[in-house]
Amino acid sequence: MNLAKEKLIIPAKKYRGETSVVSARLPLDMIRELDRIVDRTGRNRNEVIQMCLEYALDNLAQDSNEGEG
């Protein structure tokens, strides 16, 4: 039996260099959902939040009219 091996893919970090602490108040339901993702993925909360923010920044409409049909 030939089982396909899954490859481990670790993307390069997009942001490097100095860091700074940013505090944000989040709804408890959102924190619980983040923690469920953390449990499923083995990442820590900081990594998951950074990934979400990177995605949002990369996909943010730059013009207030952008994205409107």
What was the pLDDT predicted at 64?
Answer: 61
Q: Structural domain of residue 44, as residue ranges?
A: 28-58
Instruction: Give the DSSP letter string of 12-47.
Output: PPS--S----------HHHHHHHHHHHHHH---HHH
Q: How far apart (Å, rounded) are the C-alpha atoms in residues 11 and 14?
A: 9
Task: Determine, yes or no, domain membership for 32.
Answer: yes
Residue 48 in contact with residue 38, Cβ under 8 Å? yes
Q: How many whole angstroms from its chain centre is CA 28?
A: 18
Counted domains in the chain: 1
Q: Which two tokens stand for residue 40?
A: 């499923």
Q: What's the pTM value of the predicted model, to 2 decimals?
A: 0.68
Task: Determine, yes or no, domain membership for 6.
Answer: no
- Give the model confidence (pLDDT) of 21-65 as tens digits: 999 999 999 999 999 999 999 999 999 999 999 899 999 987 666
